[in-house]
Chains A and B, each alone.
Chain A
Amino acid sequence: MALRQIYHHETGLRPSSSSGLVGIPVPNPFRLRFRPSPALPLARTRSELGGGEEQGKAEKGDGEAKKGRRKEGVTLDDVNPVGLGRRSRQIFDEVWRKFSGLGQISRSLTDDDEGLLLIRGPMCEFTVPEAQDTTVLVVGATSRIGRIVVRKLMLRGYKVKALVRKADPEVIDMLPRSVSIVVGDVGEPSTLRAAVQGSNKIIYCATARSSITGDLNRVDYQGVCNVTKAFQDYNNQLAQLRAGKSSKSKLLLAKFKSAESLEGWEVRKGTYFQDVVATKYDGGMDAKFEFTETGDAVFSGYVFTRGGYVELSKKFSLPLGSTLDRYDGLLLSVGGNGKPYILILETGPLADTSQSKLYFARINTKVGFCRVRVPFSSFRPVKPDDPPLDPFLVHTLTIRFEPRRQKFVEAPGANNQDPRSFKLIMEYIKALPTGMETDFILVSCTGSGIELSRRDQVLKAKKAGEDALRRSGLGYTIIRPGPLREEPGGQRALIFDQGNRISQGISCADVADICVKALHDSTARNKSFDVCYEYVAEQGNELYELVAHLPDKANNYLTPALSVLEKNT
């Protein structure tokens, strides 16, 4: 039937030479042109109907089609007994098929009719509308979770790329056929470039297969670093192609490359409290912000006053049309010698500074240059009653140094310095773009399933990997499942928690389901959490029962579960 033929050959719809689109059942106007016989049997292939003159005359029933396209007039073909016999046989078959079909309760479809609509299309209960434009790279596609993730992605219509170490026949058999396989190793950054090309999101479920520390570090820590770096590079490349206007590009707030860039920055001194007596005897405080001969902008000074501070501040002007509410946080590239600083943002109407509210966040720097990411969510108001920071209203940024009695944290090479003097080399300040969805999903672990002897190493490597991902600036989701079980998923309620309190296991299929659901969920961005089966507490321990979420048919358990969790942890 013609409709079925559309489903088969939709992409191959080539117009034949004389009539337009012979195969489409658009009613009336087209039908008159070729006068199909009343009951077109299934057996006719599309080529018969749509074939142009290039089709050979030997085609079965071709006489029919040709007759249809020509004008009226009885031709020799009409009275050809073979043709007549064939046609009558076809009509009879068709009628008989319909007749005998009446006698059955439930017929199965004889060909792959459902194809485009019922299976891959909108009527399938698995289809996710955003899936059509998304390519997901699955790292660790041969692992237990990875295989299920790949299948689930395929069912929902995503395009999947799988990173494997070797393209062996067994490996290829393990994966569905429409997955594009990329050969590479997470330990080798050069191989990753091909993998991240064209990917929108990454699901990382690879883990070290052996317990050698080197392997652990390679896959769980270094691998994560390499993949995030490759992905960031790719995104930056894309952003450059779009002249810095892509949603993933950072906004430049200040760049310290020349002496002019120091304009607008004001150095101020202040004290938290006045201790008149003490101020007479201490060394005072002083700071300056200058552009050195080496081409660096340096903010340096000393503070000997107890309770004193020095700061560097500027009212910045954003380029036209951009406001900070589209951004998630600040990125500073500084060389700070391991000292801590305080960032203060001032919000409020520009005209009236007495109405300003101040928000501060502490940052730590490392010895030498480092990039510090400060999400807006980590800023706290100076006055506790003030509302949380609204980036839209920010107009002034201040970097403050105050000496604090610190505990001796290990800071190699910084031991001999005086905690009261500082030197901060500023390179640039940018704003990090926000995003609605997560870009990178990492499957880590809680460690409760691993035997004690290995647990520390594994957890250390995994934590290092997680930190690398958080620092990278990508939107991340870190899932820490309890001990994995090979069971079918979707049957038990799940607990999502952020406190290291879980103890139960979880099935691989459920973890895979969470990975897939988190791809487009805005509540999943920048969160890390543990997940396991619900735990029915024994008597007396009910206080600690955590809230569980049951899957329903639509299975949207993820959003309500994650919306109560804290971001950026």
Chain B
Amino acid sequence: MASRLGSLPPQLASSSLRHHRHHLLHPQCSGQASLSWRRAVAPAQLELISVSASTGRCLAPLLVKCNAQTAVATSLSQGTPVRPTSILVVGATGTLGRQVVRRALDEGYDVRCLVRPRPAPADFLRDWGATVVNGDLSKPETIPATLVGVHTVIDCATGRPEEPIRTVDWEGKVALIQCAKAMGIQKYVFYSIHNCDKHPEVPLMEIKHCTEKFLQDSGLKYLIIRLCGFMQGLIGQYAVPILEEKSVWGTDAPTRIAYMDTQDIARLTFIAMRNEKINKELLTFSGPRAWTTQEVVTLCERLAGQDANVTTVPVSILKFTRQLTRLFQWTNDVADRLAFSEVLSSDMVFSVPMAETYNLLGVDQKDIVTLERYLQDYFTNILKKLKDLKAQSKQTDIFL
């Protein structure tokens, strides 16, 4: 298995010439309309793909001729030998990404992490034994170097709340997928959002949906995993403010979300990745039970032994604010983020029955962590720690 920038992977050769146009369905998308992705040409011509310029805004699609010789392209390919245990994790510093890295390290993979260059780099990845490479999805020219010698790409990246979504989540992903295709990545794992096809008015969901379609058409061997929610996020959002007796903000939305522990997600991902029967597939992982905000807050209150100071924000205010911020250019990003309020008000249940998925993966339902157990573990440990600190603090008071 060799990967080379100029080689032509066999899947590509089988389909005939066509070029794609992707339209962003978001009505507010300013200006740009078509995206096309280029194909590598026949080795007889040996033209290297220029991956660097894939900003996604190219308007003149490249017409290529595929002739019959392309089917034997791989005989030419000698490049960096690729070990089947080498993985590139994009978004390795995120909540899900770090658990994926840990799981991969434990299972014996050689993990490479793509992180953005920072003045204070995220050192914990190197501490665990992963290799860290610098790159940025918004600068596509930095991507190819990171893919050399990689067998599988696991994509857990998303834009940070303070950045505009489109650069990383759409253009960056397109560049990454194109690059992966050109360099012969053997498997691409992509994390998406549950029901992303049902909410075209929410920008992030629409982008995820388009990325899924793009990936499916690209010809790579892919695995798309749709997720519902992370338990880890609840800690910062509810558990910590309750412990600190700060105000907890919640909506009165009736949406129920099935949260899942990221460690379980990582474990199931690897099981799915190795399962030979799952080749091109779309899986959904959702937690064992779907919770509303109110239920989560009640659970936290019960476990912390303290009452929460809950500020309930009606969803209508959120929607109104969103409409307001859409009017101004400089608040467009915020509007995008607030777009989830549309989802929240639609009384959805963000959950799917997982019995079939568990069967397919060979996993036992009992092994999946429930939210009650998760929060209980968290609170027991944190209260113990606080008690220890308090005991410690009583000692140091002597010196003052």
Contact = CB atoms under 8 A, between A and B. Distances in A.
8 contacts: A3-B243, A105-B340, A105-B350, A108-B158, A109-B235, A123-B377, A150-B129, A178-B127
Interface of A: 1-4, 6, 15, 20-21, 24-27, 39, 98-110, 112-114, 117-119, 121-126, 147-148, 150-152, 154-155, 173, 175-178, 486-491, 507-510, 512, 552-553
B213 interface: no
A154 B127 contact: yes
B83 interface: yes
Contacts of A155: 102, 105-106, 128
A281 B390 CA distance: 89
Contact of A106 (B85, B233, B389, B390): B233
Dominant secondary structure of chain A at its interface with chain B: loop
Given A154-B127, A154-B129, A123 B378 contact: yes
B265 to A, nearest CB: 11
Contacts of B382: 117
Contacts of B85: 486-488
B377 to A, nearest CB: 5
A26 B249 CA distance: 22
Nearest to B311: A98
Contacts of B367: 552-553
Given A3-B240, A26-B390, A152 B232 contact: no
B393 A151 contact: no
A512 B263 CA distance: 21
B261 to A, nearest CB: 9
Interface of B: 83-85, 94-95, 98, 102, 105-109, 122-124, 126-129, 131, 158, 160-161, 193, 227-230, 232-233, 235-237, 240, 243-246, 249-251, 257, 263, 267, 270-271, 274, 313, 318, 321-322, 334, 337-341, 343-344, 350, 364, 367, 374, 377-378, 381-382, 385-386, 389-390, 393, 396-397, 399-400
Contact of A26 (B126, B158, B337, B386): B386
Given A2-B244, A102-B249, A508-B108, A109 B98 contact: no
B108 A176 contact: no
Nearest to B239: A3
Contacts of B98: 119
Given A1-B244, A104-B337, A24 B161 contact: no
Contacts of A118: 232, 235, 378
Given A102-B249, A126-B102, A24 B393 contact: yes
Given A21-B396, A509-B108, A177 B126 contact: yes
A260 B294 CA distance: 84
A108 to B, nearest CB: 5
A6 to B, nearest CB: 7
Contacts of A27: 245
Nearest to A25: B244
A496 to B, nearest CB: 19
A512 B267 CA distance: 18
A105 B260 CA distance: 13
B400 A20 contact: yes
Given A102-B250, A103-B338, A154-B129, A124 B263 contact: yes
A117 B381 contact: yes
Given A20-B396, A21-B393, A103 B341 contact: yes
